[in-house]
């Protein structure tokens, strides 16, 4: 079910959003996820619901951490949305009870960080019951947390009539297109630091794609397996056997690895950048970006694609000297006529830094959740909603 299927008028609705945003000096440093959460809040407020909003923030591991409180989120959300947001000092307890009792249709009460309670990450039924006590209905809109079987994502949906919010609905529709009926040629661009994070995705998608472009730190494990010197670049030897199997598979020709790399003699922002062929990487250097030849090759493949999914930067894009590969991919995505989707925090951050975010068809709010969908998994949060299907 979706929000329009719920009788929300003059009802209290517990809305699980993804408000896990970076904080800096007591302020929200990036409001991407807050803006993505607003449509669900607006829809519920406009329909006459009292919105009880909850989310985790960071990884406090079941204890109260003052630097991970939701107060800055409440202030930023109120400023962006143009409506008051009342912040409760806990997600359960007397303060939350008093504020919710005093709230009416159109009001928004933001509960404190759900991960301050150990019962959140263990999906403790008692904690889920305490959260469910605040509301008549439940809406899950936190795609970025839907792959976690937590109390506020799956536990509550067993206790309250539940539906998917508009963000979750949109995310599932986009990933369904990529999984089941992507416009062809279908290209996947993968980067980021670790091959271990992407190996299940590579195994699942390689038979389904026309091209898989591999950059970022993860490419060096592939290059090492192929016998190239990779210097001090990040490699994960525990996964070499798995990579050998992939490179020997019938679909191995769909993997496109870098032909050149931007290297530096030290892992520092001010280090000098040198582009070299993959057969010329020196022993004591670091590979910090894909090279210009590879960047152009990747751009041409993206430009000729019918659909593109991108997860993970091509290098250390935060440092200007090692940003070119990521910038070239971002520009190619922006210019392409393909169905274009980017997911993962670093990819979205890079697109926003480079001013290309508005040119894509979809920026996903969930890195891990999107990868699990593309791996063929069912998200626990979504499974919890299925019991309420029409």
Which residues participate in catalysis according to the annotation? Answer: 33, 194, 345, 368
Classify each residue of 173-196 as buried b or exposed e, where b means 16 or more C-beta atoms within 10 Å of its C-beta.
ebbebbeeebeeebbbbbbbbbbe
- Residues for the chain: how many in total? 390
Number of H helices, E strands in the chain: 14, 17
**Cross-strand pairs, 53:** 15, 110
Please answer whether residues 153 and 274 qualify as being in contact, where contact means their C-beta atoms are separated by less than 8 angstroms.
Answer: no
**Cross-strand pairs, 243:** none
CA 204/CA 226 separation, integer angstroms? 22
Please give the distance of CA 268 from its chain centroid, rounded to a whole number. 27
Cis omega (within 30 of 0) for bond into 185: yes
Q: How many CA atoms lie within 13 A of 236 on its CB side?
A: 16
Task: Give the DSSP H or E segment for 118.
Answer: helix 118-121
Question: Tokens 């079941």 sit at which residue?
Answer: 62
């Amino acid at each position: 079910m979706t929000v329009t299927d719920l009788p929300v008028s003059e009802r209290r609705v517990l809305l699980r959003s993804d408000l896990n945003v970076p904080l800096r000096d007591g302020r929200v440093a990036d409001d991407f996820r807050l803006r993505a959460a607003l449509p669900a809040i607006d829809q519920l407020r406009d329909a006459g619901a009292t919105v009880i909003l909850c989310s985790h923030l960071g990884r406090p591991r079941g204890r109260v951490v003052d630097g991970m409180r939701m107060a800055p989120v409440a202030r930023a959300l109120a400023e962006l949305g143009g409506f008051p947001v009342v912040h409760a000092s806990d997600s359960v307890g007397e303060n939350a009870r008093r504020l919710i009792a005093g709230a009416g249709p159109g009001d928004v009460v933001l509960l404190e960080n759900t991960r301050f309670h150990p019962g959140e990450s263990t999906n403790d039924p008692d904690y889920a019951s305490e959260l469910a006590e605040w509301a008549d209905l439940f809406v899950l809109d936190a795609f970025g947390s839907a792959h976690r079987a937590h109390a506020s994502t799956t536990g509550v949906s067993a206790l309250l009539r539940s539906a998917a919010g508009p963000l979750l609905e949109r995310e599932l529709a986009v990933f369904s297109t990529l999984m089941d009926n992507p416009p062809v040629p279908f290209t996947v661009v993968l980067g980021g630091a670790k091959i271990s994070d992407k190996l299940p995705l590579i195994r699942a998608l390689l038979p389904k794609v026309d091209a898989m472009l591999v950059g970022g730190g993860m490419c060096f494990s592939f290059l090492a397996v192929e016998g190239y010197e990779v210097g001090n670049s990040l490699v994960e030897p525990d996964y070499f056997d798995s990579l050998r199997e992939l490179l020997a598979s019938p679909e191995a020709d769909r993997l496109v690895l870098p032909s050149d790399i931007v290297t530096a003699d030290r892992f520092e922002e001010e280090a000098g950048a040198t582009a070299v062929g993959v057969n010329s990487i020196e022993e004591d250097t670091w590979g910090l970006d894909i090279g210009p030849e590879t960047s152009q090759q990747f751009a041409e493949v993206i430009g000729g694609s019918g659909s593109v999914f991108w997860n993970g930067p091509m290098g250390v894009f935060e440092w200007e000297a090692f940003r070119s590969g990521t910038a070239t991919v971002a520009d190619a995505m922006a210019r392409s006529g393909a169905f274009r989707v980017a997911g993962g925090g670093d990819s979205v951050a890079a697109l926003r830094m480079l001013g290309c975010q508005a040119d894509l068809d979809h920026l996903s709010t969930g890195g891990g959740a999107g990868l699990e969908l593309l791996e063929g998994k069912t998200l626990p949060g979504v499974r919890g909603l299925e019991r309420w299907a029409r």
